[in-house]
């Protein structure tokens, strides 16, 4: 098991997507199965993949090169050219580890069970009266691992992935891995860059990692390295009884500086979402503003990224793009006489951003809870085409689009699984009312109920107790829990000489 005092963190040992995020205009998720008859050959070939793996140290250098490229172009008064950059990471499911003969207990029950077994707990469609969710076949059958390839263009990614396929002889009779599924994600074009398909600016409230992130914006929470990396300070089991102390989680030595990845294949019904907003504007406002405000109160932010806790009635694009202000709020406004802890005047209790990061709702009295170990690092990307004119006119999705949700943490049970099941899907979270049991509803964006019953209160600030019935706009179609090993673990434990 890991030592109580590990060696200092070396960013050359950590896969690059975890702490820094692989630079990307496009990404390909290559899900694979290890050939049952060629496991040892695969592990030998894995040694040839390791030099291609992009580390966190390399990613920070890539980010620096991109920033310098932009600065140079700005100095010349021209748009910056795209730098040819690619990145590669590899992750494995528990099924994949077992196939390779790596069977030590890694210390996470959700990972060991896999996401398919967890689908009912997550509320995925199809699990209300059965154990099997409505997922695409590849994820129902299970995958052994995934190779993530990022780059500045489809050509760059295709070239890099072709090199990787040659290592494992993919497509040949003697292939050691077989493609189970390939999904391509792309950053949205033009002004929609950085916005998810519903149109809202995303990725604003990431935590900062202590000793890793040099710049910390106002309101950004600094968390211990062990919230994301196994074996580091903060990689602990949270106490279940008040007064208990957190306990370090026993891990195999090779698990140090690895991280768990929760991947979700999420389809978004974008025309349907916007049709609902248009048909249900908040009363008392011009229809367009009423619809826009309803969407903002669903998400907790305006499409610009401005938080409604700071801009409760109108969008403020300057606030949305200002990293020194757009995350500096707490759902506690002592200077506003119209709002306190028990009102939804500014932000509904069930708003997406509040459900997934409740801030004052748990961190302030009476709970005064430390929720650092609930934080996850999100690295997803959008997939699918932009909404067509015909789809917008009909209000019906004709093509698949959505989010390749990817989140890293050191503990899936305390991280993603808890956020989805105990917060987003829990109609009485955050705890409100005299007995902390007020039914506030599900997260209107990602909250799942396998039976299809979704609602929330607080959408109208003038009628806060009124419940609004909600269709489902985010549909999970698969996913898996993976482990992202450190570079030393890949060399010394996973690969064979």
- At residue 6, the pLDDT reads 85
- At residue 349, the pLDDT reads 97
Task: Copy the structure tokens of residue 383.
Answer: 């997939």
- At residue 195, the pLDDT reads 97
Residue 2 has pLDDT above 60, yes or no: no
Three-class SS of residue 140? helix
pLDDT in tens, 39-89: 999 999 999 999 999 999 999 999 999 999 999 999 999 999 999 999 999
Task: Copy the structure tokens of residue 159.
Answer: 């070239």
Q: What is the total residue count of the chain?
A: 497
- At residue 174, the pLDDT reads 97
457 close to 465: Cβ distance less than 8 angstroms:
yes
Average pLDDT over residues 225-237: 97
- At residue 337, the pLDDT reads 67
CA angle 352, 288, 443 (to 5 degrees): 15
- At residue 339, the pLDDT reads 67
Distance CA 403, CA 387 (A): 14
Residue 365 pLDDT level (bands cut at 50, 70, 90): very high
Q: Is 448 left (phi over 0), alpha (psi -120 to 50) or beta?
A: beta
- At residue 220, the pLDDT reads 96
35, 124, 144, 202: the active-site residue: 202
331 close to 345: Cβ distance less than 8 angstroms:
no
pLDDT in tens, 427-449: 999 999 888 999 999 999 999 99
Average pLDDT over residues 233-260: 90
Average pLDDT over residues 400-425: 98
End-to-end CA distance of the chain: 24
* Beta carbons within 10 angstroms of residue 247's beta carbon: 10
202 catalytically annotated: yes
Residue 130 pLDDT level (bands cut at 50, 70, 90): confident
pLDDT in tens, 331-340: 998 777 666 6
Strand pairing class (247-248; 381-383): unpaired
Q: What does pLDDT average to over the chain?
A: 95
- At residue 1, the pLDDT reads 57
Distance CA 451, CA 287 (A): 32
* Beta carbons within 10 angstroms of residue 483's beta carbon: 23
Average pLDDT over residues 223-234: 97
Q: Which residue has the tokens 């109609």?
A: 427
| Three-state secondary structure readout of the chain | CCCCCCCCCCHHHCEHHHHCCCCCCEEEEEEEEECCCCHHHHHHHHHHHHHHCCEHHHHHHHHHHHHHHHHHHHHHCCCCCCCCCEEEEEEECHHHHHHHCCCCCCCCHHHHHCHHHHCCCCCCCCCCCCCCCCCCHHHHHCCCEEEEEEECCHHHHHHHHHHHHHHCCCCCCCCCEEEEEEEEEECCCHHHCCECCCCCECCCCCCEECCCCCCCCCCCCEECHHHCCCCCCCCEECCCCCCCCCEECCCCHHHCCCEEEEEEEEEECHHHHHHHHHHCCCCCCCHHHHHHHHHHHHHCECCCCCECCCCCCCCCHHHHCCCCCCCCCCCCCCCCCCCCCCCCCCCCCCCHHHHHCCCHHHHCCCCCCCCHHHCCEECCEEECCCCCHHHHHHCCCCCCCEEEEEEEECCCCCCHHHHHHHHHCCCCCCCCCCCCCCCCECCCCCCCCCCCCCEEECCCCCCCCCEEECCCCEEEEEEEEEEECCHHHHHHHHCCC
Helices 287-299, 270-279: inter-axial angle, 10-degree rounding? 120
Q: Does a cis peptide bond (omega within 30 degrees of 0) precede residue 316?
A: no
């Amino acid at each position: 098991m890991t030592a109580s005092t590990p060696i200092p963190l070396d960013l050359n040992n950590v896969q690059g997507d975890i702490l820094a995020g692989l630079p990307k205009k496009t990404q390909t998720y290559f899900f694979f199965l290890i050939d049952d008859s060629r496991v040892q050959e695969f592990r030998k070939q894995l040694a040839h993949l390791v030099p291609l793996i992009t580390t966190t140290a390399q990613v920070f250098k890539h980010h620096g090169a991109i920033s310098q490229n932009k600065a140079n172009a700005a100095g010349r008064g021209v748009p910056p050219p795209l730098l040819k950059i690619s990145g590669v990471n590899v992750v494995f499911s528990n099924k994949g580890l077992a196939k390779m003969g790596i069977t030590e207990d890694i210390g996470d029950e959700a990972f060991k069970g896999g996401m398919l077994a967890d689908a009912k707990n997550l509320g995925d469609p199809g699990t209300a009266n059965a154990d099997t969710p409505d997922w695409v076949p590849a994820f129902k059958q299970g995958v052994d691992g995934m190779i993530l390839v990022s780059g500045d263009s489809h050509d760059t990614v295709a070239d890099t992935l072709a090199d990787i396929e040659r290592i494992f002889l993919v497509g040949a009779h003697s292939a050691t891995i077989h493609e189970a599924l390939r999904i391509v994600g792309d950053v949205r074009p033009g002004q929609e860059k950085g916005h998810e398909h519903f149109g809202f600016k995303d990725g604003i409230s990431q935590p900062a990692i202590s000793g890793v992130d040099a710049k910390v914006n106002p309101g950004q929470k600094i968390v211990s390295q062990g919230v994301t990396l196994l074996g580091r300070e903060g990689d602990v089991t949270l106490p279940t009884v008040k007064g208990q102390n957190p306990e370090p989680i026993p891990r195999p030595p090779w698990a140090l500086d690895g991280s768990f990845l929760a991947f979700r294949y999420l389809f978004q019904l974008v025309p349907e979402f916007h049709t609902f907003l248009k048909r249900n504007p908040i009363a008392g406002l011009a229809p367009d503003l009423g619809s826009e405000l309803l969407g903002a109160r669903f998400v907790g932010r305006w499409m610009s990224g401005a938080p409604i806790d700071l801009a409760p009635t109108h969008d403020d694009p300057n606030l949305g793009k200002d990293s020194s202000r757009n995350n500096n709020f707490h759902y506690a406004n002592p200077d506003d006489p119209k709002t306190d802890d028990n009102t939804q005047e500014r932000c509904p209790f069930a708003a997406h951003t509040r459900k997934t990061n409740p801030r004052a709702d748990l961190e302030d009295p009476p709970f005064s809870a430390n929720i650092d170990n609930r934080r996850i690092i999100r690295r997803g990307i959008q997939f699918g085409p932009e909404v067509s004119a015909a789809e917008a006119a009909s209000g019906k999705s004709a093509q698949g689009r959505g989010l390749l949700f990817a989140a890293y943490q050191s503990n899936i049970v305390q991280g993603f699984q808890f956020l989805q099941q105990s917060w987003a899907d829990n109609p009485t979270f955050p705890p409100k009312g005299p007995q902390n049991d007020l039914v506030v509803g599900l997260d209107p964006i990602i909250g799942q109920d396998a039976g299809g019953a979704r609602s929330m209160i607080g959408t109208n600030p003038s009628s806060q107790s009124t419940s609004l019935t909600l269709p489902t706009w985010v549909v999970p179609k698969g996913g898996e829990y993976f482990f992202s090993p450190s570079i030393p673990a890949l060399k010394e434990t996973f690969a064979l000489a």
